[in-house]
Amino acid sequence: MDILSVNWSAKYGHFLRAEANVNALTYPVPPRTVVLGLVAAILGLEKDALATELAELKVAVSGALPERFWHRVKLRKDPPTALPLEIKRNQRGSESPAPEKAALHRQEWLLKPQYQLQLAWPTQPARFNELVERIKQRRWHFNPCMGLSELLSDVEFIACESAISLPFGRYQVQGVCSAEQVQLISNDKLGVHLLRLPRQVSANRVFSHAPYFLEHRGQPFTVETAVAWQTTQWTGVFL
């Protein structure tokens, strides 16, 4: 199976937590559904493609957890004034009714996030080849962003190489890995955390979540698993 490796970076990032309310907390790493959205933007696919055409895309994420900070944004709900159907020469600009007061909204942002993505799409070889070529040539359909449309990002090609499926055993894996598919081997010198992330989304925009292990500094950690993959640069588990 061929695996595409890319660097995904930005000045700021934000991946809204499912349980967030007034204060918009962020996940420290992009969930699988966010990476599917990135691929859809590069290929120019519809929003519903995450639940259909992209459902079989294999995704892995690695990298150190970025620093976080709080950012305030002003949100207005009042729409702009409608344009008149007829414009006259002596017409003056119309004023909108009393605008609704803007609400200050707190968002937790990531500072200089940078992740390495591994992508595999064995069920759609033509689409996979198109994705590789578009990233190589920096020819994406929509500009990539890091969670929010205002947070522009960059996607840099690293390599596209064949990977091998490893037999059951103990391996040092890189990045986020499914807690349901691995047995964690304790190591007191590493900070391995357990985190629930969105994994799949249905056509009705219903998200399903799964538990994952990740090391906060991006260091490899030892697990016992039967679903690990390996390339010359990466050993890990798909989300």
Look at residue 87 and tell me if it is in a domain: no
CB 81 within 8 A of CB 94: yes
Q: Which residue range(s) make up the domain with 191?
A: 2-71+105-236
What is the tens place of the pLDDT at every residue in 89-131? 776 655 555 555 667 788 999 999 999 999 999 999 999 999 9
At residue 100, the pLDDT reads 58
At residue 206, the pLDDT reads 85
At 121, which CATH number?
Answer: 3.30.70.2660
At residue 135, the pLDDT reads 96
At residue 76, the pLDDT reads 62
CB 31 within 8 A of CB 17: no
Q: What is the pTM of this model?
A: 0.86
Look at residue 78 and tell me if it is in a domain: no
**How many domains does the chain fold into?**
1
Look at residue 205 and tell me if it is in a domain: yes
Look at residue 92 and tell me if it is in a domain: no
Residue ranges of the chain with pLDDT lower than 70?
22, 75-83, 91-102
At residue 196, the pLDDT reads 94
Q: Compute the distance between CA of residue 225 and CA of residue 189 in angstroms, rounded to an integer.
A: 21
Look at residue 6 and tell me if it is in a domain: yes
Name residue, tokens 């629930």: 196
At residue 98, the pLDDT reads 56
